[in-house]
Amino acid sequence: MSVQSLTVAEIYHTLTIHNSRFTTHDSPLTTLKLTFLGTGTSQGVPVIGCGCRVCRSTDSRDKRLRSSVLITAGNLNILIDAGPDFRQQMLRAEVRHLDAILLTHEHNDHVIGLDDIRPFNYRSGQPMRVYALSRVAGEVRNRFEYIFGKPIPGLPRIEMIPVEPDVPFQMEGLCIHPIGILHGKLPILGYRIGDLTYLTDVKSVPSAEMDKIRGSKYLVTSALHHEYHPTHMNLEEAFEFAEQIGAEQTWFTHISHQMGLAAEISTEMKPGIALAYDGLEIDF
Ligand SMILES: [Zn+2]
Ligand SMILES: [Zn+2]
Ligand SMILES: [Zn+2]
């Protein structure tokens, strides 16, 4: 069944009916894998020149590249966000092919690695499918103007595909549900794939979008640090949100060095909630 042809009301109906296993009917019969490629906020951890305990820590969980995850479904590799550490993340996770990139928003820590998709273009002979809100697609076109001009051999090749919060889309049989969330006042996207919801840079979730997230067995959501921030949830807000959703397991990502040492903050977590770390892999 093509979800693209459904009206918003029908999609909600579908979501309600299948809430226990969400979109099982259009998910592939394979285990999905989530790999955290980066779990740091925009400057990463350690921060350049910072001598704080976290930035000097030798614990591998305190080394956080910019936030990004890889979702693997059979042979399908989908990346969420391509920040400044994209190249290093692809090498570290030994990603040999990439089928698509889903962008959450246009901030540099989520898009500026796009030039480095070239090896994937060369290997596949295809442009990279990049899904984003149309505003975000416009920002990508501005920031990478040379990619979208006259075709020159050796340049990255991108096919921008616009997405909207209320229009799920299919990728090789996998149904992806964009979720409209707020990064301060900026509308951005999270994504739900089967039992997993991935949100980053979230400050608030409009109540109409909460229904798309509820019933997720696994939730990834951002928690910056302990203090108030106008465009990001802090740890306390993230706990509150995680409890509202009530996923079996929640992981926090997009973490600042100001959060504290992973070893110490982990002891402050609640049942079913954990700090994510780079390299963490989950089957779902
Ligand atoms: Zn960010
Ligand atoms: Zn520091
Ligand atoms: Zn941001």
Residue-wise pLDDT for 70-114, tens only, equals 999 999 999 999 999 999 999 999 999 999 999 999 999 999 999
Indicate the residue type of 24.
T
**Predicted pLDDT of residue 181:** 98
Q: Report CA(105)–ligand 3 centroid distance (Å).
A: 7
CA of 258 to the centre of ligand 2 (A): 7
Instruction: Please state the rounded mean pLDDT for residues 33-61.
Output: 98
Q: Report how far ligand 1's centroid is from the alpha carbon of 181 (Å).
A: 14
Determine the longest span between alpha carbons in the chain, in angstroms: 55
Cβ atoms within 10 A of the Cβ of 20, count? 9
The rounded Å distance from CA 232 to ligand 3 centre is: 8
**For residue 88, what is the enclosing H or E element?**
helix 86-92
Portion of the chain with pLDDT greater than 70, in percent? 90
Structure tokens at 70: 């890889």
Q: Among all ligands shown, which has an atom nearest to the Cα of 50?
A: 2
- Measure the CA dihedral 210/216/220/223, to 10°: 40
Compute, in angstroms, the gap from residue 223 CA to the centroid of ligand 1: 11
Helix (H, G, I), strand (E, B) or coil at 132: strand
* Class of the domain covering 31-275: alpha beta
**Centre of ligand 2 from the C-alpha of residue 77, in Å:** 33
Give me the residue spans of the domains in the chain. Answer: 31-275
Is the pLDDT reported for residue 7 higher than 90? no
Question: 70 with 95: CB under 8 angstroms?
Answer: yes
CB atoms within 10 A of CB 127: 15
For residues 154-167, one letter each, b for 16 or more C-beta atoms within 10 angstroms of the residue's C-beta and e for the rest, the string is ebbbbebeebebbe
Collapsing DSSP to helix, strand or coil, 220 comes out as strand
Residues with CB under 5 A from ligand 3 (ion): 107, 201
Whole-angstrom distance, CA of residue 142 vs CA of residue 159? 15
Q: Distance from the CA of 266 to the center of ligand 3, in angstroms?
A: 24
Q: What was the pLDDT predicted at 29?
A: 56
Q: Which stretch of 13-17, 65-69, 159-163, 206-210 has the lowest confidence by average pLDDT?
A: 13-17
Q: Which of 107, 108, 13, 31 is nearest to 71 (CA)?
A: 31
